[in-house]
Amino acid sequence: MTDVDADRIEKILETPGLADALESDRFKQFLDHVPIAIVVSELYPSEIITYANLEFERLTGQRVASVEGKSWKSLTGVAAADDDDRCLGDAVLEDEEYVGMFRIERDDGVTDVDAWSNTIEDDEGTPIFRLVALACVDQRLREDEGLRQSLRDKDTMLRELQHRVKNNLQMVTALIRLEARNGSDDETGRRFDRLAGRINALALLYQTLSGDGKGDSVDLGAYVSQVASSVMLAHAAEGIRLDLKVDSWPVSTNVAMPAGLVVNELLTNSFKHAFTGRDGGLITVHSLIDEAGCRVIVADDGIGLPEGVTWPVPGKLGAVIAQSLRQNARARFEVETAPGAGVRVTIYFDRADAAP
């Protein structure tokens, strides 16, 4: 595979209205001239191959007519890695995105190919096609096992990062939908400003993931510090001071993400509401470690919550985010507030429950 091949595959998968295009004879004629082997199946009522382009026949040595109307098991090829016994036809059903390197026995010799598999959805999000792409492996990869292993390692890291980003973007989508459902025209600007803070907290997490090279762990203290600084920059007013104290501690990304969102939520509340009618005050953010686990504290010395109100408010996004932290790290919340005495939220979770 070359970088050009990878770019071509990416462009095909990003074709606007790809699900509709795959039903077009004209689009299939276009694919017949693409120098990447493309095979397409319809998923319903049963998954069978409905199209293969001319490059598929040239690359694999299999006639197009021998696979159309058949299942994916009709594809020849076995995994090239010594510790991998998958057949190509089974592997494209099991994996998404990059599937791996496969060896195909042809009448005139052996061909090594890289394989990708993606399901294609319609406008309602229902999967209706599977598109498999095959590209000839670069000669250097055949000859250099060290290079192949390096690329496999990098690909694994990329796929893990993409998986985390995909899952986190699903949370972003849920946040936006809940905001839209709960909002009114008069509140649109304020709500989207708050939403921007939440998305920025996730962006800081992605930045940490892509830069530290530590796989599934995130330094919670450093991440909480970044979130606090970002909220301070966006919302701080004259007279408001930030007391920030953090310990370094690696936690799972599934813990860091909701923890950062909770800190963002509480800090934003403090900056916006805690010092109404006052000249300023103190906001405290601590992420401290002891033998048992971690305490994350977000507090202010402001006016406190109105009588009868606590945090998080049921049905609001803060409750959704707090519940995510409870599920991912068995977190326990303690909320203290009194009129004129501020708000103090303490989050506890044990070392074992937050470990990567």
Nearest-CA neighbor of 231 among 188, 262, 185? 262
First-to-last CA distance in the chain? 34
How confident is the prediction along the chain (356 residues), in pLDDT tens digits per residue? 455 555 666 666 666 566 666 677 767 777 777 778 888 888 888 889 988 988 899 999 999 999 999 999 999 999 888 778 899 999 988 877 778 889 998 888 888 888 888 888 776 778 888 888 888 875 554 555 555 555 555 555 555 555 555 455 445 544 544 554 555 555 555 555 555 566 666 666 666 665 555 556 788 888 899 888 888 877 767 888 999 999 988 888 888 888 888 898 898 888 888 888 888 889 999 999 988 889 999 999 999 988 888 888 876 777 777 887 888 788 899 999 888 889 999 999 888 877 77
Structure tokens at 240: 């408001």
The predicted-structure confidence for 310-328, as pLDDT tens digits, reads as follows: 888 876 777 777 887 888 7
Q: How far apart are alpha carbons 257 and 321 in whole angstroms?
A: 9
DSSP helix/strand/coil, 111: strand
pLDDT of residue 183: 53
Is the overall model pTM greater than 0.75, yes or no? no
DSSP assignment, residue 272? I
Per the CB < 8 A criterion, the answer to whether 136 and 115 are in contact is no
pLDDT at 177: 47
Round to whole Å and give the CA distance between 11 and 55.
17
Cβ atoms of residues 4 and 34 within 8 Å? no
Give the per-residue pLDDT at 256: 84
Cβ pair 260, 204 in contact under 8 A: yes
Specify the DSSP element, H or E, that contains 25: helix 25-31
Query: Residue 49's pLDDT is what?
Result: 92
Q: What is the pLDDT of residue 94?
A: 84
HSE of 337 in the Cβ direction (CA atoms, 13 Å)?
Answer: 21
Amino acid at 111: T
CATH topology of domain 154-354: Heat Shock Protein 90 (3.30.565)
pLDDT tens-digit readout, 22-35: 677 767 777 777 77
What is the H or E stretch that residue 235 is in? helix 220-235
The CATH H-level superfamily of 3-141 is PAS domain (3.30.450.20)
Tokens of 127: 């999967």
Q: Specify the domain boundaries for CATH 3.30.565.10 within the chain.
A: 154-354
Q: What gap in Å lies between CA 272 and CA 194, rounded to an integer?
A: 10
- Domain limits, CATH 3.30.450.20, in the chain: 3-141
